Structure 1
Amino acid sequence: MILGDLNKDNGTLGLSPVIAEVCEYLKGLDLQALTLGRHEINDDIFMNVMEFETAAADSKKSELHHRYLDVQLLISGAELIEFGVGNPDLSDYEAYQDEDDYQLTAQPIAYKNSVLLAPNMFAIFFPYEAHKPGCHLGGQSVKVKKLVVKIPYSLL
């Protein structure tokens, strides 16, 4: 997992070239004006823009991906994301959804950590890194707008 901020000078320093290019692309967009739904960035990379209310972490399932990494960028609101970077036991997960590249589990995340995103902050989750986005902090639901860029791991 990598944490960053689009507003930070040299915020892409040290990132792989493809992730850095995506971040530069995002910096050039009017994020607030983005319409909900899928947007193609190029032939291989796309993003999903969404709005939702955060929920209690214990009411949500964790997810992981096999082929894509996620760049989760918060546009508005505040969002807590739980995550783990250990090797998950895939036998605890539901069947892999190949077409949409995800697997879910209701089991707790091993070696769980959490990060609170503010607008323009992003978290990058690599394949097989369990994460539970959309959680609220302090028992208060918050409306968020965010985007998730899907980058094939093979491009790194």
Structure 2
Amino acid sequence: MAIFGTLATVLAQLGGDPTFASVRTYLEEVRRGDSAIAQRIREVPVGETRRIELAGGAFALEQAYRAKPRHEGFFESHAKFIDVQVIVDGEEAMEVADAAQMTIEKSLDPQRDLIVYRDTAGASILKFGRGTAAVFFPADVHMPGLYNGAASVAVHKTVLKVPVLPQSA
């Protein structure tokens, strides 16, 4: 099941799980708001995504965008990667539901590692701001990037893609 909270809490909950060993140092640097990595993410122009390769087959998508209204979002999950989503600046809402309760609209696109689901009103709504994070496993269907209020704001975020089965470095 999904894990969410402050980045410090999420890191503590992941503990020594070897699945996340390749991204722990990166996440610790993001947690330090004055680090070079956090500053680099803050400097990504709105509308851009930059891919940063990490160890063990993991990578980070450092991105900036404007939060969108719910009707522009969609529910998704991934088969090969676990998502670790960290808000560096801005705020957004994300919805999450159990894949077992969802209906697939588009089967796995192996190139994008993306499964798309039909909409549901039964998802939980999570609100995120600076320094918060979520971990979405393959069973966690999620809709990120939504307004967390009445208006769209710029969001600077990193999404780490961690292989479900760690690969050797």
Fold agreement, TM-score > 0.5? yes
Contact 1:88/1:130 (<8 A) preserved: no
Hey, what's the Cα distance between the residues in 2 that align with 1:128 and 1:24?
26
Task: Identify the residue that residue 47 of structure 1 maps to in structure 2.
Answer: 60
Contact 1:77/1:145 (<8 A) preserved: yes
1:12 equivalenced with 2:42 (yes/no): no
Hey, what's the Cα distance between the residues in 2 that align with 1:23 and 1:85?
26
Identity of aligned residues (%): 24
Aligned counterpart in structure 2 of residue 100 of structure 1, from 112, 115, 128: 112
Hey, what's the Cα distance between the residues in 2 that align with 1:55 and 1:121?
19
Runs of at least 5 residues in structure 1 that lack an aligned partner in the other structure: none
Aligned counterpart in structure 2 of residue 66 of structure 1, from 70, 79, 83: 79
C-alpha distance after superposition, 1:37-82 (max 9, x if no partner): 1000114110111111111112211111111110001111001001
1:149 equivalenced with 2:150 (yes/no): no
The CA RMSD measured in Å over matched residues stands at: 2.2
Hey, what's the Cα distance between the residues in 2 that align with 1:148 and 1:55?
17
Contact 1:74/1:118 (<8 A) preserved: yes
* Cα drift, residue 127 of structure 1: 0.5
| Residue type of the alignment partner of 2:28 | K
> Could you tell me the TM-score, scaled by structure 2's length?
0.79
Contact 2:90/2:155 (<8 A) preserved: yes
Higher strand proportion: 2
* Cα drift, residue 11 of structure 1: 5.1
Hey, what's the Cα distance between the residues in 1 that align with 2:57 and 2:68?
31
Hey, what's the Cα distance between the residues in 1 that align with 2:101 and 2:58?
26
Higher helix proportion: 2
Task: Identify the residue that residue 79 of structure 1 maps to in structure 2.
Answer: 92
Task: Identify the residue that residue 39 of structure 2 maps to in structure 1.
Answer: 32
* Cα drift, residue 106 of structure 1: 4.2
